[in-house]
Structure formats: structure tokens, C-alpha cells
Amino acid sequence: MNNNVSLENKLISHFGDQIISVKSQHGELNCEVAPENWQNVCQQLRDDAQFSFEQLIDLCGVDYLGFGESEWQTENVTSTGFSRGISNKGPGRFSWEERKTELKEKRFAVVVNLLSIQHNVRLRLKCFAPDSGVLAVPSLIKIWSSADWFEREAFDLYGIIFVGHPDLRRILTDYGFVGHPFRKDFPLVGNVEVKYDEEQGRVVYQPVSIEPRVTIPKTVRKDARYADNQEQLEEES
């Protein structure tokens, strides 16, 4: 029996309604767990001999805003390429002052990749933070110590709170940084900029002074229609 199939059956049989779903996709096994069962399931995955996931390889945050939605209108193209993005949720594609915060069910998730050396099998766990209020998920640091800086990174970049983490603070951005840069509605240019003020003789923070710019992909076709148009343009010039 395939290792993934065997593990899938064991997960369903052992945990029952403690897990939301187990799916095998592209040869990889994915398991979703609710926040209230997060620590308990992970503890058993490490300690139970039939699982023995001794190693947490990676932990990260994910923002599902706009997930599965096409951003570009690709049904119709012109000689100059595709139209501008039609799904204005990405950074730089809206007026920041007029931005409306979108509430999306199951938007932010914590994703963990586990390895069982004993059974030579891998498992991906997913836990969505609550849809309202504080984005809080229990910390896994007491189960796998390697989760320490990974959880700090997810907190820094996505704003997910890991309850029980002994030192949850920013790890990649500055202490005065505003916002969480890996959120999909975070502006590419940021919220503030830093510069040295000659008059004050020190570094100061101020509102961003540059405008966000969006690159528009184009499709260049070299068939007869566009070749004729190009020759006509050259003659007119």
C-alpha cells in the first residue's frame, strides 16, 4: 500500500472529528485541523508510534485573499496586449486611501510541513486562524522547538498571533515597521519611508512619497495582421 494512503487511513481512524479534512494532492498528503485541536493533534503526531513525526521542517503563514480568482482578463486581447488587472485586490492596484478591508472566510492559515524519519513519510498540516477578532493560533514551540523562529516570521509577515510563544516579536522587519508585508492587500511601496533629515540631524519616518506602479504584461504576436500594421506605421513615420 502507498505510504500516503496508509497514513491517510491512519489519520482518519485515529483522530476522527478532531481533523477537518485529509486530502492527497499531487502525491502530497494535506490535513486541515481546527485551532482548538491544533496542539493536541500535533502532540499525538509526534508522540504516537504509528505516526512519529519527529521533525518540523517548516512553518509559514498563507494569505488566501483572492485565491483561485483570475486577476487578468484574458478572454480578449488587443495588439498591445492584455488589459489591466480586473481583480483590484493586489498591492498597487487600488487607491490606498479608499481601500476597503475585505473580510474573507478562512483567509489566513498556518501551514506546517512534518517529517517522520522512522516511517519515511511527510505530512502537511494546515490551521486557519479565526475569521473574526484576533488572528490567534496555539504555538507549537513546546512540541517542536524548531517552530520558534518560524512562528516569529509568520507573526511578523502576516500578523498571526501564536498563543504561548515565549518571545513573539518581529524578526525580519524593523521595530517601527507598520503593518505586515506578506498580506496581499499590503501596498508594495509600504506605509512609511525612512530618510535622514539634515535640519533635525537624525533619521525620521514620513509618509511614502512615491506612487505604486503596476507592470502590465503584454503579448507580442508576429502573425500577418500585426506585421502589416507595423509596415503601415513605418511608412506613415
Q: Calculate mean pLDDT across residues 14-22.
A: 95
Q: Calculate mean pLDDT across residues 34-50.
A: 96
The pLDDT value given to residue 87? 46
Q: pTM to 2 decimals?
A: 0.75
111-126 tens-digit pLDDT: 999 999 999 999 999 9
Using CA atoms of 146, 165, 174, 112 in order, give the dihedral in degrees to the nearest 10: 40
Q: Which residue range is the domain that position 53 belongs to?
A: 3-233
Could you tell me which residues are beta bridge partners of residue 128?
109
Whether the CB-CB separation of 65 and 104 falls below 8 Å is answered with: yes
Higher pLDDT, 32 or 100: 32
Q: Domain holding 122: CATH number? A: 3.30.460.80
Checking phi first, is residue 187 left (phi over 0); if not, alpha (psi -120 to 50) or beta?
beta
Q: Calculate mean pLDDT across residues 35-47.
A: 97
Q: How far is CA 80 from CA 70, 141, 219, in A?
A: 20, 52, 7
Residue 228 has pLDDT above 60, yes or no: no
Higher pLDDT, 6 or 228: 6
User: Into how many domains does the chain fold?
Assistant: 1
The pLDDT value given to residue 43? 98
Residue 215 has pLDDT above 60, yes or no: no
